[in-house]
Chains A and B, each alone.
Chain A
Amino acid sequence: MVDTVELNKLLDEYDSARIKTWLNICSRCGLCAEGCFYFLSHNRDPKLSPAYKVKKTLGEMYRKRVKADDRFFKECYEILWFQCTLCKRCSLYCPFGIDIASMMSIARNICMSQGVSPERLIEFTENSRKSGNHMGLPSEELIEVCEWMVEETEDEYRGVTIPIDKQGAKYMYTINPREVVFYPQDIGNAAVIFSIAEENWTIPSFGWDCTNLPMFAGDRAMAAKSVDNVYKKAQELDAEKILITECGHAYRSLAFEGPYMTGQSDGKPPVDVIHYVQLIDEYLKEGRLKIDPEKIIKEPITYQDPCNVSRNGGLWEEARNIINYLAEDFRDMTPNRDHNHCCGGGGGIMPMGPDFKPGRMKAGRIKAEQIRETGAKIVIAPCHNCFDQIQDLGEKYELDIKVFSFKELLLETMIIPEKFKPDGKANEKD
């Protein structure tokens, strides 16, 4: 049953000057379709044009108001979660600059208020509510993994540590819970990089989940809580900056959406938020990390601009600077930077599980073609969703590529100063 009271309340609440203007002046020219990778990858199916999607969802909600029924929300569900990743590319293709993705987000929130949202995302949201991270992990598990990773590094490095809850660190490093469960190596890699750069950093025992799946699920209150956990912890630890692992939507959520979710009046996060690509760029520029000239990557390499890092984060030159240090044969995709295409794994569709893989693979055709055109053998993706999606695309479209995060490539190419080499190994070399 439709909760009309809640529906009306939300519709009124969201009815801002922007929404009114956008819904009203869209002159239905259809140009936005040119920007949408769903439209392009489905042979220009008119039903996938962004203007149509917003018209059928938020547009109808305002038109129908309380007359909206369960069937209507079911239709919205399909459109909002499986035909749009909120990549915001269409805004660049609209003559009026209508922010279609923002309206799709609002429509998701309204659907969620009616209990309509993908099951897995609701599960993740509940996990966040209970534990402060979307995988529902207890703090002990994170600490255990950190300890384990420190042990793991001992074979190759000396003096790598992972400080937990350290006061007054320059960076409070926040991660994606997937790293704890599926890619603990990523945490180890980060620890090695921090240690060699001799950074003052810490991982918090709570508020360490930088992701925000409740935001994608459409649970506004929980989405706000998720970013607030991180902000609060950073303030509590008196950290100078919040650092985000190689994750796209976490950056968008903490740096751009979060301030509004938590009601910061100036629209800026209470603690500066920076993304991992900024950190590495800074380290390489300042010479705190050095690349071994003999290890520079010779294979053709390309870069996946994650939507939420590049277009929605404004960080694209950083990544290219880093690649300049790392590799010889960089081949950019076309289009790139702020005009990049979404890989097809964004907007929360990636963690929804294998049932949705066929849809992801179809939508990712554009990305697969882009990668194939570059002829690159290595794809760098500083975003967990892009990473997984491109790996899947590589298999499905037989692209013959390897996908890496910056951390992995950095560890393979950087110079390990003598004092960080383990005793045994240093002796062997002598």
Chain B
Amino acid sequence: MYDLITGPLLWFSFIVCIGGVIIRLVYLFSLSRVKDRVLYNHADAGWGLRSLFHWLIPFAGSAMRMQPVFTFMGFVFHLSLLSVPLFLSAHNILWDENFGISLWSMPDRLADILSAVTIISGLFLFLRRLSRPEVRILSEVRDYILIIITILPFITGFLAYRQWGPYETIFIMHVLSGEMLLILIPFSKLSHMILFFFTRLFIGFEMGGRRGARSW
């Protein structure tokens, strides 16, 4: 089982994730050359980057200041969500053993705390979805499921690290849920992790490059 899920299945997930994202980007790019002249006509690096950075820095956009708790939780969620899988020492050891490359590793204690933070902030987002009327009315079942799928590798990773519960089952679930997440990236709303940069640049061009107005 370990052999299968960390071998062929993992390769499959990586290929689907990266390949899917590339295919999607190429498709959108070629479509945009035909149908989105407006994207290129008003391109302006200064406005584009300002539009981007105002939404990458906490509380830089005015909407973020209107919902400070959500903003804080949202940033904490995204930061821990991205940093734990990339900088967990055990993951880097696997990278190193298999490909001879690795990133900086964070201490296990920190990774442990950040996993808990991801789970808690993810649950906050889930509850916010349920409790704020203007968010609940927008939400579909798949939006709730996506949050659960996103934090699943962190729940199982957290349990596996502490060896709480049936270790082997949890370990397998950890790997499988991580792979599911990778596969979902190009096909679900998770694709915003890449497309975010393009939509932000566009609105920067559209509001700023074209009209001189802010988009944050």
Q: A-side interface residues toward B, CB under 8 Å? A: 15-18, 20-22, 24-35, 39, 44, 46-47, 49, 51-52, 55, 91-99, 256, 260, 265-268, 310-314, 335, 338-339
Segment touching A, from B11-19, B85-93, B98-106, B200-208:
B200-208
Further contacts, 14 of them, CB under 8 A, given A21-B198, A260-B37: A17-B35, A17-B39, A18-B32, A21-B195, A24-B189, A28-B138, A31-B66, A46-B133, A46-B134, A92-B214, A95-B196, A260-B38, A310-B213, A314-B212
B199 touches A52 (CB 8 A): no
Instruction: Report the bound CA distance from A268 to B40 in whole Å.
Output: 12
Shortest distance in angstroms between B92's beta carbon and chain A's nearest beta carbon?
29
Please indicate the chain A residues that have their CB under 8 angstroms from the CB of B38 in the complex. 18, 260, 267
- Determine which of B55, B134, B140 lies in contact with A97 in the assembled complex, contact meaning CB atoms within 8 Å: B55
Shortest distance in angstroms between B25's beta carbon and chain A's nearest beta carbon?
10
Question: Which B39-92 residues have a C-beta within 8 angstroms of A?
Answer: 39, 41-42, 51, 55, 61-63, 66-67, 70, 74
Q: B-side interface residues toward A, CB under 8 Å? A: 28-29, 31-32, 35-39, 41-42, 51, 55, 61-63, 66-67, 70, 74, 129, 132-140, 143, 189, 191-192, 195-196, 198-200, 202-204, 206-207, 210-216
B211 touches A30 (CB 8 A): no
**Known: A312-B211, A339-B62. Contact between A27 and B200, CB under 8 A?**
no
A92 touches B63 (CB 8 A): yes
Instruction: Report the bound CA distance from A35 to B206 in whole Å.
Output: 18
The 8 A-B pairs at the shortest CB distance, nearest first, are namely A97-B203, A267-B41, A314-B212, A17-B32, A16-B35, A30-B135, A314-B211, A93-B63
- Interface-centre pick from A29, A260, A313 (highest chain B CB count, 10 A): A29
**Known: A28-B143, A97-B215, A267-B42. Contact between A44 and B63, CB under 8 A?**
no
**Known: A260-B37, A310-B213, A338-B214. Contact between A25 and B138, CB under 8 A?**
no
Nearest CB in chain A to that of B135: its residue: A30
B215 touches A18 (CB 8 A): no
Please indicate the chain A residues that have their CB under 8 angstroms from the CB of B63 in the complex. 31-32, 34-35, 92-95
A46 touches B137 (CB 8 A): yes
A27 touches B211 (CB 8 A): no
- Determine which of B37, B132, B195, B199 lies in contact with A30 in the assembled complex, contact meaning CB atoms within 8 Å: B132
Please indicate the chain A residues that have their CB under 8 angstroms from the CB of B67 in the complex. 31, 34
Instruction: Report the bound CA distance from A313 to B136 in whole Å.
Output: 34
* Sample of 30 A–B contacts (CB below 8 Å): A18-B36, A28-B140, A32-B63, A44-B133, A49-B134, A49-B138, A51-B138, A52-B138, A92-B61, A92-B207, A95-B196, A96-B195, A96-B200, A97-B215, A98-B199, A99-B203, A256-B210, A256-B211, A265-B37, A266-B41, A267-B42, A268-B41, A311-B211, A312-B213, A313-B211, A314-B212, A335-B62, A338-B213, A338-B214, A339-B214
Shortest distance in angstroms between A220's beta carbon and chain B's nearest beta carbon?
15
Instruction: Report the bound CA distance from A266 to B55 in whole Å.
Output: 29
Please indicate the chain B residues that have their CB under 8 angstroms from the CB of A95 in the complex. 55, 61, 63, 196
Please indicate the chain A residues that have their CB under 8 angstroms from the CB of B133 in the complex. 44, 46
B31 touches A20 (CB 8 A): yes
A52 touches B31 (CB 8 A): no
Instruction: Report the bound CA distance from A43 to B125 in whole Å.
Output: 23
B213 touches A96 (CB 8 A): no
Nearest CB in chain A to that of B203: its residue: A97
Please indicate the chain B residues that have their CB under 8 angstroms from the CB of A266 in the complex. 41
Shortest distance in angstroms between B143's beta carbon and chain A's nearest beta carbon?
6
Instruction: Report the bound CA distance from A334 to B41 in whole Å.
Output: 33
Instruction: Report the bound CA distance from A34 to B37 in whole Å.
Output: 30
Instruction: Report the bound CA distance from A31 to B38 in whole Å.
Output: 25
Shortest distance in angstroms between B51's beta carbon and chain A's nearest beta carbon?
6
Nearest CB in chain B to that of A32: its residue: B63
A52 touches B134 (CB 8 A): yes
Shortest distance in angstroms between B189's beta carbon and chain A's nearest beta carbon?
5
Please indicate the chain B residues that have their CB under 8 angstroms from the CB of A32 in the complex. 63
Instruction: Report the bound CA distance from A98 to B140 in whole Å.
Output: 19
